[in-house]
Copies of this chain bind each other. A is one copy, B any other.
Amino acid sequence: MTMDHEQAFVTLATNDSYAKGAMVLGKSLRNHKTSKKLVVLIGPHVSDQSSSVLHKIYDEVKLVDVMDSGDTAHLAMMKRPDLGVTFTKLHCWTLTHYSKCVFMDADTLVLSNIDELFDREELSAAPDPGWPDCFNSGVFVFRPSNETYGKLLQYCTVHGSFDGGDQGVLNGFFCDWSTTDITKHLPFIYNMSSIAIYTYLPAFKQYGANAKVVHFLGQRKPWSYTYDPKQRRVRGEIQDATPHPSFLVDWWILYSSEVVPLLLRAYGDLPFHSG
């Protein structure tokens, strides 16, 4: 039998901006009473203050410095310097003290308990709306394994990434995802991209109420907007005639009520901009 403490949600933040995302994600997992461990991989550019806040929310905060590591990851990185963050993300396969994990991008927000994802096998993921025979690598189930880790680095070094990021590498490596096993297709509501609302609004109205994870993929991230707490509105958010729940506002409500207080305490007298 698999014990809950052998399973973890894992995310990644290489800088203080993505660290804000990781804080909100961690809070959203806790608020929906996950029974799993929470792990965040951080890069060396994350400040001590951010790191201390992450320690308050996550069970494990692991510094991952590919450049320092002197192992195969370092070697791979020397050959493909363009794939920096990608190599850091692949590091999640080295978390071998867990038997199974769910990776989640730092720009995701959990809307209900999703512990049932651990019933799935590696590599389970939801389709990418841009090219739906690819899975989106913002949410995926995997089994930590040094062997798989080595093969992934090898694959990366030889083939690179067709999109320059981890999604291209992972789709190249797990290339039978679209044709082999339907149980490895997570429902889209476990990784609903915020833009899907606009591309096919009737489907969003039909199925979106069941969304469990929203993913703010693309250029603009929640923390790059400005929030007006009095009006509970995000400035510059796309608005349309049909009002629908604003996931951006949900993100900001959680950030300002549960994350900003922790950041203020961590920064003490140092200047800190809550966004």
Contact = CB atoms under 8 A, between A and B. Distances in A.
Interface stretch (A70-78, A81-89, A125-133): A125-133
Contact of A180 (B126, B168, B182): B182
Interface residues of A, number: 31
B132 A162 contact: no
A175 to B, nearest CB: 11
Contact of A207 (B133, B189, B199, B200): B133
Contacts of A128: 132, 200, 203
A129 B132 CA distance: 6
A90 B205 CA distance: 24
Contacts of A134: 200, 203
Interface of A: 126-134, 162-164, 168, 178-182, 185, 187-189, 196, 199-200, 202-207
Nearest 6 CB-CB pairings of A with B: A130-B200, A131-B203, A163-B202, A127-B132, A132-B132, A130-B199
